[in-house]
Structure formats: C-alpha cells, structure tokens
Structure 1
Amino acid sequence: MRTTLTCATLALGLGCSPALAQSGELTIWSWNIAASSLKSTVEGFNKKYPDIKVTVQDLGNQPTYDKSIAGCAAGGVGLPDIVSIENGEAENYWSQFPDCFVDLHTLGYTAEDQKKFPDFKRTELEVGDKAYAMPWDSGPVAVFYRRDFYEKAGVDPASIKTWDDFIAAGKKIQAANPGVTMTNADFNGDTEFFRMISNEQGCAYFAEDGQSITVNQPKCVDAMTKVKEMKDAGIVSSADWSTKITNNTAGTVATQVYGGWYEGTIRTESPKENGKWGVYLMPSLTADGPRAANLGGSSLAITSASKNKEAAYAYLKYTLETNEGQITMLKDFGLVPSLISALDDPYVAQGQPYWGDQAVWKDILATLPKVVPSRGTQFQSDAEIILRAVQTKYLAGGYADAKAALDDAASQIASATGLPVK
C-alpha cells in the first residue's frame, strides 16, 4: 500500500513525503571522519524514525568512489541506498551515469529546500532541473595555527593579512622554533594551495558554465606564482595527509591551511595538544583582497537501486536539512554545515575548549557567504592529474614562469577533454 500511495503522490506531482517512510533498512557508503559523523546522527534520526535501521559503512575515500562508479556502470548492482559524493567528483557521476541516482525533486525536494544551502555548494549537484544530491559539509578555508610557536616568535596572527605576510611570519616562526616548519603541502599528490588561492581570487580550472578552460587566467597565474614563492622561501615542507597528522601531533609544524573540516582532524587525531591551537582567516594576495575560499566538502545522493528511497530521503532531510543533524556532526567531528540556518545556531558562537576557548566556528563559518562558486565539471579528475604534474615540474624550475606552466596545463586539459581554452 505504501508503494501505491507513493506512486500516486508522484503522479500528482506532489513529491513523496518522508512521513510515508516509517520503517525499513538503509545502508550508506562513506569514509573516515565523514562516516563517523553520519553514525553520530543515527540516534537523533531514530528518535523520529525508530523503525528505520541505518548502517553506515566506512569504506575509505577512494574505495567509496571506485565502488560507486563500478556499481553505476553495472546498472546499480551492489550499490547501497545512499552514497557519499565529494563535490569535486560529483559531475563525474552525473555525466557518465545520469540514471544511477534519484532526482531528489521526485521525493519532495523543493526550490525552497534548495535555497537553504549556499549556491557554491549546489553548483555541481544540480543539472538542469534535476537535483542529484543534497549538500552535506563545506570546506571554508581557515588557517589552523599553534599559538605557542607564534607567540615565541612574536607573531600576531591578526597581522597576517597577505600571503607575503604569511611568508615573512613563517621565516620568523621557523627561526624562533628550531625543527618547526611553518606549514605543509602535499606537493607530490595534491594541488591544495593552488586550488585554495585560486578559488579565493575567483579563478578555477573551468569557467562557471563548464564549457571552457580557465586555469591559465591571470588570477590562477597569480596563485601558482605565490605557491612557488612560498616553497622557495623555505616555509613549506612536503607532507601527505598522514604525515601532516603526524607533524601536528609531534609539534613539528606551526600551521595547517585547509578546509574547515580539518578542525575535526586536528582535534581528534592530536588530543594532547588541547589548548595549543587557534584559527585565523586565510591571507589574500593583497591587504584588502578577498579572504574566503572552499576546499572539499561532500554531498549525499540516493541511488536508483535503493529499495527504500522514501526512508533514504527522510534520513537526508534530518541529517542535512535540520540544525540538529548538522550541529551534531559539527560538535562531534568538525563536519562544517552547509545548511545556512545552522550558522546561527548558538553552538557556533561558543568558545571551543580545544581551541583555547576561541569561537572558531563563528570565524570560519562567517566566510561561507563570501565563497565564489567553482565548477569541477566531469573533467575535474583529468584536470587535477595534469595540474599535479605541471605543478611538480614548475616548482622544480621546469617552466620559465607560472604563466608558461599553466598555459601548458590548459593545453593538455584541452587535448584531454576537447574543451577550448578561454
């Protein structure tokens, strides 16, 4: 009977009400702290829906992507009810397998629901009049720093307004704290600093409409130039994800620049450093320039193979579209809300003990409305692989300058994707 009612509702164009989803089982694929944060919402969800059993499987980041893509290619075989999808990879799914995931509008997701999230989070999740996923966490960039190392060097983080200020501060901090590096970057496997500074300056790999390549535009050139200046100044040491965590705990790095979700990583992976860390806004290229960017962030999508789509939608509505769900994940694991109303939750304004009682979330989340949307397109993975190789060559002196490096990258991306260079 429930199926009949649901179909009738759809036929009337009214969408499916979560009220119909009173029982059933759900399986979700996710990874690491993201998976843990989803598990933390189950108790609250079950207070509203006690007969819906939710199982969150922590597959790891890359395996989640690989298994999801393989499942879509197999027509949905083996897929769970809900899949965690990184925004930067989202368009890979929709372009290759447009029928693999449910258009949330058919389950009751309205234009008013969509407006509850910032535009930059929805850009890659919606195609035409379809919404394939609901925004989950964001990655507003912040600078996480060790108060003691800065204080020993006499550096006031409030004085760091530009990336040149950051470089100068790094030299002072390293001189005052032997064995400590100002910051880390995964130069061998990522382009995080280039992407953060580019987004801050309003430049991206692709144009906003996704139809041309813009990675060699002037603001992107400025960003890549600054990355090399930081490396050449000796304030950045190469470190992958796990090495960064080791350095945080060992006290051999003074600063990590990352998306706001990294708060949970520092707090949970380095508990003994309680009270030693603080947060400040990312620097800009000029003293009066923009100081907001996004790095990372994910969404939740319901698979077409799900046998309990209404229950899955009820879970998305609770976890992602209520302050309770979003703030639970923020409190427990530092997953930054995308839900605009959550920014005004009283918890956001509270001082956080681990961070020296600084109200870090108030500072970090205040930057969200200022983030410039950035399209990943279905070619994001191809472009990223090319950029990593070009960045490595450029940092080693293999190009005359950043413009030459990014012109080469743009040319390679054009060959790989068929898109024109703007």
Structure 2
Amino acid sequence: MKKAAVMLSLALASSALAAPSGEITVWSWDAAAKALESTIPSFNKKYPNVKVKVVDLGNQNVYDRGLAGCAAGGVDLPDVYTIENNEAEVFWARFPDCFTDLNPLGADKLSKSFPAFKWTELSVGNKRFAMPWDSGPVVVFYRTDLYKQAGIDPKKIVTWDDFIAAGKKLNAKFGNKVKIGTISNGQDDEWFRMLANQNGCFYFNNAANAVTVNQPGCVTALDTIKKLYDAKVVATGDWGGQITNFKAGTVASALYGAWYEGTIRTNAANQKGKWGVYPMPAAKKGGPRAANLGGSALAIPSASKNKEAAWAFVQHALATPEGQIAMLKSQGLVPSLLAATKDPYINQGQAYWSNQKIWKTILDTLGDVPQARGTQYFQDARQIMTVVQADFISGRYKSAKEALDDAAKKISAATGLPVGK
C-alpha cells in the first residue's frame, strides 16, 4: 500500500508540473505589456487552465512598486515581474531573496539558447534570477529618400568617419537644415554607452568590482561623439526632441537599439516606405559593428503562490520562437532567443521599411554584441557620465581621457568601487 501511495503521489506531482492551472498576474508597461498580451492566446492553447492577467502599471511604477514589495518581504508582488536589464542588479544586491532562482525550474538548460551578454546582469553566482526577453541590438535607422537626395550610399558607411562624411553631404545638400542624427547631450549618455559597448568598454568591468569608464574603448567612444559635434553634423535633443526631429524630417538618421523601430513606425506612419536600416559604423575598418542598448527580462517573485504556472508562461513567452515572434510582430520587441532568429518572419521584407528585411539585418549583429555590466550602480554612473559628456562637448576638458579620468573618480566616490588599472 505504501508503494502504491508513493506512486500515486509521484503521478499527481508529475501531472501538476505538466499541467499548471490557476491564475497568474504579470506586471509590465506600455508596449511590453501589449506584447505579453499577444502571447496569451498561444499560451492558453498549451495551458487552457491558466488565466493570465497582464497589468500595465507604467515603467517607473513597476520599478518603484517592485522595490517597495521586495522591501516588505514580497508583499503584493505579482507572479511575473518585468525588469529592465540595467536595473536588475539593484534588486539582486538589495533583496537577494526576493526573486526565485530559475535554474531549478529549467533555466540552466536554456542558458545557451540566448546570447551570453543577455545573462550577464540576470545572474548572480550560479543562480539565474530572470529570463532574457527582448534585446536592443544597435543599428542606424535612416531616411532612404534624404540619403538618396544627398548622394549617400549607406552601404559605404562602414566607419564613424564615413558617417561624419555623410553628415557633411546632408549639410551641403539641405543648407545645414537636415542633420544626420540627434544626440541626447546633457539629457542622457546613450550614444556614449552604445559606442563604448561597441568598443568593449563600459562604466564597470564584467566582474562588477572596478570602474572602467576611462579605459581606451570608452575614450574612443567619447572622442567620436566630440568629432560628430565638431563637424556640426548632429542635432541635440531629449527623447521627445528626437521624435520631433525625425517626424519633421530635420534629421535623416537615428542610432538606437532595435526596439526603436516601433517608435519610428508608430510616430511617423506617414513616412512609410521612406526608411531603411544599416549596421552601426565601426571605430575603424574591420572593427565591430554591434552593440546593445536596452532590453528587459521576466522574473518570478519568491512570494508567488503559483510558480509552476508563472514559469510555464515565462518559458512560453521568452523561450519559444512562437512567443518571441508574436511579440516582434505585435510591438517590434526584438527577440533574444537565438532560435527565433531563424523564424521565416525574420526574412520577410517589411513594408514600412522600404520592403527591406530589417529584422535579418538587425538580428545578424546579435551574436557580436560585447558583454557589459550595469551593476547596482548603473544610475549613479549614468548621471555622472551624462554631465561629464556634456562638459567635454562644451570644452571644459582638454581631452576625452581627462574627462573620463574625472568621471571614473566621481563614479568611484559614488559607488565605493576602485578605478580599474
């Protein structure tokens, strides 16, 4: 009888694992929330007894309520929590017990299904606290008509010097009224982060134990931004200003993570057929033409009362081509799952983008993106670097190295981490 009881218990446990049920709540925001909702129909074909409720709380509110919930021991947290990669380590460092280690659920078996750089900020030791979701491989979005009028062939833009030369052609053709891009100088340092990542440099090293913002790759990145300003080929604008610029046609390009595709397409619907994409320029010929900006992940709070259903949803949305392609089609969220890059949809021309196979162009760079570590001090470093970059552009520092040495000292003072050798 005891043997029969044990066998029955195992059978029931197996059945429960194979067929989760009940209700789960997912916290997310804006396009990310809509994207997750787009995966529910196919998820429910597999798991008809699980009800998924996606709650759009807004980006900042998700972050703030997540911190508050973790501080309160998991009170009122959802079953699935959306977290931005560059903010993830704030949670792991402050609240190491707030989220579930996903390895025992099966994340360890999926590790090679994603690019290595996507796991960097989601793992602590031998634990994985979140699953990679979307990524932000950096590319140049460009107005095909404006480039053509200025005699610019995007295929010949290989280096940043080529990019500057193209910007000068735009200036000449349009009387300095159309710039080649917009930089958030003074509002953000996103261009610096993209170019630094491309050059294998970031605020911190990948061990998260030293400040490395003054290393050679970062110096090259900051020097490049200064060259763009000195050549008078870029405009300056915050997030809203950049959108205003491309809508008005006063800039002919936008350098951003690939998720910006949806921003352009939805804000400038009347420009359909006038845009294309090409890989970001390199620091020098033969150099890497890949970087990452942005991207999110899904985590399961330890307080979740239905981890089986939560994991089933996370796995379906993020670890299947079906889930990832549904979100790409729905909201333009770029897959991190390597298998999704082989989906037939990736090789389809996109009408808005002059029928170019933009997703192939974008995703072909995914495997070349260098790893970067935001650490729990990402926002501290970002605020310091934003000011230092603006001061360097305005002439306060004699060189990029001097500017970044100062940034390194300030970041070190703010974080307690030493400046790397």
TM-score range, shorter chain: over 0.9
Q: Give me the whole-angstrom Cα distance separating, in 2, the residues matched to 1:260 and 1:15.
A: 41
Is 1:170–2:167 an aligned residue pair?
yes
Matches within 5 A, 1:95-110: 95-106=93-104, 108-110=105-107
Q: Give me the whole-angstrom Cα distance separating, in 2, the residues matched to 1:161 and 1:344.
A: 26
Is 1:140–2:137 an aligned residue pair?
yes
Residue 59 of structure 2 is aligned with which of 33, 58, 61? 61
SS at match of 2:180: strand
Is 1:360–2:358 an aligned residue pair?
yes
Partner of 1:19: 18
SS at match of 1:181: coil
Question: How big is each residue's C-alpha offset from its partner over 1:65-87, in whole Å with a ceiling of 9 and x where there is no partner?
Answer: 12211211121122111111111
Residue 151 of structure 2 is aligned with which of 151, 154, 158? 154
Q: Give the counterpart letter for 1:142 in structure 2.
A: V
**1:414 and 1:421 in contact (8 A); partners too:** yes
Deviation at 1:215, TM superposition (A): 0.5
Q: Give me the whole-angstrom Cα distance separating, in 2, the residues matched to 1:390 and 1:15.
A: 57
Q: Give the counterpart letter for 1:367 in structure 2.
A: T
Q: Give me the whole-angstrom Cα distance separating, in 1, the residues matched to 2:212 and 2:324.
A: 34
Q: Give the counterpart letter for 1:101 in structure 2.
A: F
Partner of 2:198: 200
26 and 189 in structure 1: CA distance in 2 versus 1, 3 angstrom threshold: farther
SS at match of 2:371: coil
Which segment drifts farther, 299-308 or 315-324?
299-308
Q: Give the counterpart letter for 1:352 in structure 2.
A: Q
Question: How big is each residue's C-alpha offset from its partner over 1:354-389, in whole Å with a ceiling of 9 and x where there is no partner?
Answer: 111110111110111111111111111111111111
Deviation at 1:96, TM superposition (A): 0.4
Q: Give me the whole-angstrom Cα distance separating, in 1, the residues matched to 2:172 and 2:228.
A: 16
Residue 347 of structure 2 is aligned with which of 349, 374, 392? 349
Q: Give me the whole-angstrom Cα distance separating, in 2, the residues matched to 1:55 and 1:228.
A: 47
| Stretches of structure 2 lacking an aligned partner (at least 5 in a row) | 1-5
Q: Give me the whole-angstrom Cα distance separating, in 2, the residues matched to 1:234 and 1:39.
A: 44
Partner of 2:85: 87
**1:140 and 1:293 in contact (8 A); partners too:** yes
Which segment drifts farther, 74-83 or 289-298?
74-83
SS at match of 1:76: coil
**1:30 and 1:59 in contact (8 A); partners too:** yes
**1:16 and 1:310 in contact (8 A); partners too:** no
Matches within 5 A, 1:272-421: 272-421=270-419
Deviation at 1:145, TM superposition (A): 0.1
Q: Give the counterpart letter for 1:136 in structure 2.
A: W
SS at match of 1:337: coil
Q: Give the counterpart letter for 2:212 in structure 1.
A: T
Q: Give me the whole-angstrom Cα distance separating, in 1, the residues matched to 2:58 and 2:171.
A: 35
Q: Give the counterpart letter for 1:98 in structure 2.
A: P
Q: Give me the whole-angstrom Cα distance separating, in 1, the residues matched to 2:133 and 2:383.
A: 26
Q: Give me the whole-angstrom Cα distance separating, in 2, the residues matched to 1:393 and 1:362.
A: 38
Q: Give me the whole-angstrom Cα distance separating, in 2, the residues matched to 1:16 and 1:353.
A: 46
**2:107 and 2:128 in contact (8 A); partners too:** no
SS at match of 2:403: helix
**1:149 and 1:177 in contact (8 A); partners too:** no
Is 1:267–2:292 an aligned residue pair?
no
**1:15 and 1:105 in contact (8 A); partners too:** no
Q: Give the counterpart letter for 1:400 in structure 2.
A: K
136 and 18 in structure 1: CA distance in 2 versus 1, 3 angstrom threshold: farther
RMSD of aligned residue pairs (Cα, Å): 1.8
Q: TM-score, normalised by structure 1?
A: 0.93
| Stretches of structure 1 lacking an aligned partner (at least 5 in a row) | none
Which segment drifts farther, 279-288 or 77-86?
77-86
**1:26 and 1:53 in contact (8 A); partners too:** yes
Q: Give me the whole-angstrom Cα distance separating, in 1, the residues matched to 2:219 and 2:137.
A: 22
205 and 276 in structure 1: CA distance in 2 versus 1, 3 angstrom threshold: same
Partner of 2:110: 113
Q: Give me the whole-angstrom Cα distance separating, in 2, the residues matched to 1:304 and 1:15.
A: 22
Q: Give me the whole-angstrom Cα distance separating, in 2, the residues matched to 1:223 and 1:74.
A: 41
**1:277 and 1:355 in contact (8 A); partners too:** yes
**1:18 and 1:314 in contact (8 A); partners too:** no
Q: Give me the whole-angstrom Cα distance separating, in 1, the residues matched to 2:49 and 2:366.
A: 36
Q: Give the counterpart letter for 2:249 in structure 1.
A: G
Deviation at 1:16, TM superposition (A): 10
